[in-house]
């Protein structure tokens, strides 16, 4: 059965927030942060309930003009979708 997939992102405040936060919808297995075209590894991913998440990013987002995305992957580690993280 196919599920609708989505990532709902919250705005990230540079210099204040330590985590990128949002909500996952559908059959997404894992997410990774992409900053200026580079997929980042090694961050802690915490689920606050079944769909809400916090992704440690304070050491990865260093400029409010960076292009930052949360990228989702399925059970086969295949790209599913990505959503822009708004930075203020």
Predicted local confidence at residue 2, as pLDDT: 58
Structural domain count of the chain: 1
pTM of the model: 0.86
Q: What is the rounded radius of gyration, in angstroms, for the C-alpha atoms of the chain?
A: 12
Domain-embedded: residue 19: yes
Task: Find, among 49, 45, 6, the residue nearest to 24 by Cα.
Answer: 6
Measured over the CA atoms of residue 39, residue 40, residue 42 and residue 46, the dihedral's sign is negative
Question: Considering the domain boundaries, does residue 1 fall inside one?
Answer: no
The SS3 call for residue 2 is coil
Q: What CATH number did the domain enclosing 31 receive?
A: 2.60.40
Any domain includes 67: yes
- pLDDT score, position 42: 65
| Residue 80 near residue 28 (C-beta atoms within 8 A) | yes
pLDDT (tens digit, 0 to 9) for every residue of the chain, 88 residues total?
A: 456 889 999 999 999 999 999 999 888 888 999 999 999 986 666 666 678 999 999 999 999 999 999 999 888 889 999 999 999 9
Is residue 65 assigned to a domain? yes
């Amino acid at each position: 059965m196919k599920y609708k997939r989505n990532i709902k992102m919250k705005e990230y405040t540079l210099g204040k927030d330590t985590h990128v936060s949002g909500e996952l919808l559908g059959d997404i297995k894992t997410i990774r942060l992409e900053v200026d075209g580079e997929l980042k590894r090694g961050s802690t991913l915490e689920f606050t309930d079944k769909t809400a998440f916090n992704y440690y990013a304070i050491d990865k987002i260093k400029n409010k003009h960076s292009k930052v995305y949360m990228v989702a992957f399925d059970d086969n580690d295949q790209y599913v979708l990505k959503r822009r993280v708004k930075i203020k």
